[in-house]
Structure formats: C-alpha cells, structure tokens
Amino acid sequence: MQHKIKATIKPFDGQSPHSDCPQGWKVTLRYGRRQLTSTLWSSGLDDKPDAWDATSQIQDAAKHAVDDFNAWCALVGIEHGTDDYADAAKDHAECVAKLPKVKRLFGDDFDEFVARGFGGAGLDALTGCYDR
C-alpha cells in the first residue's frame, strides 16, 4: 500500500441503531489525499474504537458488499428466521452503500486492502501503516 492510513475518531451523540452499542463515534479515515467519514458504535466512552477497529469495519463492509441479501446473510453468518436476520436489512443496505466510498478512498490499492484478510498476517500487518 502506498500511503499510511490516518484515523481521527471523535465521540458524538446520535441515535444508535443498536441497543447494546449506544455510544457513537465519528471516524474519518484518510489515505493519501482522500478521506472517508463513517460511524461506529460502541458500548460507551470507555470502549473507544481505534484505527484498527475502524479500518477492519470498512474492510469487512467491502468484503461483504454483495447485492443479494440472502447471500450477504450467509457470508456474515446470519441464519434465516432468527432475530438477527429480521434486523439485518439495514446493516446490509449500509454495507452495500459503503462499497463505492471505500473504493474511492483506496483507489488503485482497493484490491490489496480487501485481500489482506483478518487472520495471521492479514489486517494485523496494517498496524504499522497507521498514523494515529
């Protein structure tokens, strides 16, 4: 990857879509001259996300941004007929809507960013790429 990922994370008051995660965080990721602003939710002010959390969230969205809702549920492990399944439509829509923004942020490096994965040397290898 050509640039460091720079993250700015600030708390904000907003209406959380998740009852178990009432604290909102405005996250701005910068990569080169481009930036992406997103929202993360946590259990409280003591549970502040960091650059790794923010980056893994958008990477996860990019990896799982498939148009078909049922295929998306299968990818993220949500079973048909569960309470999670009934609530998942909004999360799916947000995931699909975020993909073009993530592609713009990383430009030509998008495929490498998505391919890094989560295990082993995957996204953990980005730790040295953060400027916090």
Q: pLDDT tens for residues 33-89?
A: 999 988 887 777 788 888 778 888 777 777 777 778 888 888 778 888 887 777 788
Per-residue tokens: 4: 């460091």
In this prediction, residue 17 carries a pLDDT of 66
| Identity of residue 77 | G
Write down the pLDDT at residue 123.
38
* Per-domain boundaries in the chain: 5-122
Least confident among 20-29, 71-80, 82-91, 115-124: 115-124
Contact 109, 1 (CB under 8 A): yes
Q: Give 132's strand partners.
A: none
Backbone angles phi, psi at 2, to 5 degrees: -80, -30
Amino acid present at 81? G
pTM of structure: 0.68
As a whole number of angstroms, the distance between CA 108 and CA 128 comes to: 20
pLDDT at 2: 62
